[in-house]
Structure 1
C-alpha cells in the first residue's frame, strides 16, 4: 500500500537523515501514540468541518478528516514539520494512497490583478531558479538536491471563485518518473488570507487523484464576512505579495518541505522494510483500516 510505505518511510527517512534525538523504541512509542490520537479524533464524512474561524469544509462521504493538534503530531511522527498554519489532514476512508494537507495562511488580502498578465514560462523560470538557489541550503543541511521537472498542472486561476490550482513535478538525483512525488496545490483566497488544500500523491497516481483535490476545493466555503468579496480596503490588511508569488515564490519553500518527507521514494521504502517493521505496522494500522473499521 503506497501510503503506508510513504508514512513509515518518511518516519525512518527523518530519523536517519535528520538524526533525531531518541532511540528507535522512543520513536515507535511516539508513532503509536500519534496514530492512536489521530484515530480517536478522526471525523468521518459526510460532515461539516470547521476550518478555524474562516471556512467550512463539507467533507464528502468516503473521506476522513484529522484535526489539530492530532494532525500536527502525526505529521511530526512522519518526519515532517508542523506549525500553527496547519489546520488538518484529509484522507480516504478506504485504502488511502493520497493525503491532503490543509493550511491557513494569515497573509492578508491577496490581490489577483497579476493573474491577467502572468506568463507561465516566466513563473517556471523563477521557480526553477529559486529551487536551484535552495539547493545550496539543502546541501548544507544534508538533504538531497531537487530538480524541477515540469508542470503537472500549469497555474490556473478562476477569478469568479478566487481559486488557484497549480502543480509541479520535482525529483531528486537518480529518480525516474515513477518514483517522483507530486504536490498538487490548490488555494482558496479569502478576505484575510488563504486556505491551501494540497494533495500529496505519486506521479503514477496523479491523474486518478486530481478529482479529489477539485472535489475538496469545491466543498470549501468561507464563512459570512470572511470571503474574498468581503474585503474592505479602508480597514483590511493587504498581503505584501500578489497571486503570482503563490506559485513562483511560495512554491520553492513548499517543494523543499515535502522533499523532507520523501513521499514514495523507493530508497526509503527499502530501509523501512529492513529496519522499520514495527513502525510500519503501527502507521499501517491507521492508514490501512478496512471497511470493518469505517
Structure 2
C-alpha cells in the first residue's frame, strides 16, 4: 500500500536565497495547497523508512534510525518549493522526517562541494556580527517571498550561538525567526543547524522545528549528525594540501558570511502551514490513505520502505 507522509509536521522550512524569476502575480492559495499535498504524496511514495543505511551521494552514509523516514533529492526539493523556498537542486541530498505520533520536525540534508573548509577562524568569530549578516540576508530573501505570495519573515536571534567541535569537525548553531506579522507570543520558527565537514565540502543537516518543541527535537539533530559517517577517503582528515581544493571561505561563513547568504537560512513560519493544515489533511485523504495511520504504525524491523 502506498506510503503517506503528513504535511502537518511541515511547520518550518529553510533553504536557498538563490535568485528566482519573479512571477507576474502570486499563485492562489488553492494552487499552493494542491501542490503541497501532491509534493508530500510523491515524497511518501519515493522514500525509505529506517532502520536503513542510506547512501548520501558519493560522500557518506547515514544510518537512518527506526521511526525516521528519508525522502530523496527530487521529491524533497519539490516539497521545499511547495513550502515557499527557492531551492538549489544541486545541493539538496534529501529530507528526513519523523514517523512518530508526536513528531513535528523535518531535517533538510544538503551537500555543498566547494572544497575543504578551513576551521581556524572558529576561535575568532563574533556571534553578534554573524547574527547581523543573517538578518540582512533574510531581508533580501523577503523580496522573493513577497513576489510568490508568502509572508515576509524576520530573524529574531540565537537559540544556540555557534559551537564548533575541533575533534569531530562538527558545527552546531540555532536561529529564532518568525513571520513579520506574527504575534510575539506565538510559537517561533527554529532552525537547528548542524554541519559535518569533509575533504571536498560539507554536509548541512538543518532541523526545522519551533520554539515550543525544540528542547526535545534538538536531540534528533545530534542523533542524525552522529549517524552520518564520511566514506573512506572523503573524511576531513583525508585532505591533501598538494592536490585538494580549498574553499574560498572559512568556517565562519557557514554561519553568517558568504555561504549563509549564498545558501540561505530563511524560515517559512507557522502561519502558512497551520492555516492550511486541515485542508491539506483532507486533500491527502482523497488519495486513499489516512495520514494519521502513517504516524501511528510501527516501522518495519527489516528496514523496508514502510508500506502501510
The answer to whether TM tops 0.5 is yes
C-alpha deviation, 1:235, in angstroms: 1.2
Distance 1:115 1:31, change over 3 A: closer
TM-score, normalisation: structure 1: 0.81
Runs of 5+ in structure 2 lacking a partner? 1-5, 14-22, 300-308
CA shift at 1:135, angstroms?
A: 5.0
- Say yes or no: does 1:247 pair with 2:255: yes
Give the one of 85, 92, 105 matched to 2:91. 85
Equivalenced residue count is: 279
1:39 counterpart (41, 44, 57): 44
Residues in 1 aligned to 2:44 and 2:146: alpha-carbon distance in whole angstroms: 37
How far is 1:254 from its partner?
2.5
Q: Secondary structure at the match of 1:113?
A: coil
Q: Is the 8 A contact 2:43 2:75 kept in 1?
A: yes
In structure 2, what is the equivalent of residue 63 of structure 1?
Answer: 68
User: 1:13 is matched with which residue?
Assistant: none
Seen in structure 2, the aligned counterparts of structure 1 residues 63 and 17 have a Cα distance that, compared at 3 Å, is farther
User: Secondary structure, in 3 states, of the residue corresponding to 1:39?
Assistant: helix
Aligned to 2:302: none
What are the within-5 Å matches in structure 2 for residues 111-190 of structure 1? 111-132=118-139, 144-175=151-182, 176-190=184-198
Pick closer, same or farther for the CA change 1:182–1:18 going to 2, 3 Å: farther
Can you list the C-alpha shifts for 1:134-165, whole angstroms capped at 9, x where unaligned?
55666677654433211101100001100001
User: CA offset at residue 69 of structure 1?
Assistant: 2.5
Q: Which residue of 2 aligns with 1:231?
A: 239
Question: What is the rounded CA distance, in whole Å, between the counterparts of 2:280 and 2:75 in structure 1?
Answer: 22
Find the aligned partners of 2:176 and 2:293 in 1 and give their Cα distance: 26
Cα distance in 1 for partners of 2:292, 2:204 equals 22
Cα distance in 1, alignment partners of residues 24 and 186 from structure 2: 23
Match of 1:51 in 2: 56
Whether the aligned pair in 1 keeps the contact of 2:188 and 2:270 (CA below 8 Å) is yes
* 1:252-271 equivalence runs, <5 A: 252=261, 254-256=264-266, 258=267, 262-265=268-271, 269-270=274-275
For 1:41 and 1:287, how far apart are their aligned partners in 2?
Answer: 19
TM-score when scaled to structure 2? 0.77
Cα pair 1:110 1:193 within 8 Å, conserved: yes
Structure 1, residues 224-256: CA drift from partner, whole Å, max 9, x if none?
000111111111111111111111123355233
1:204 counterpart = 2:218? no
Distance 2:216 2:286 in 1: 27
Residues 9 and 280 (structure 1 numbering): CA distance in 2 closer, same or farther, change over 3 Å?
farther
Q: Counterpart of 1:279 in 2: which secondary structure? A: helix
Greater helix proportion? 1
Q: 194-203 or 144-153, which moves further after superposition?
A: 144-153
- Which residue pairs with 2:81 in the alignment? 76
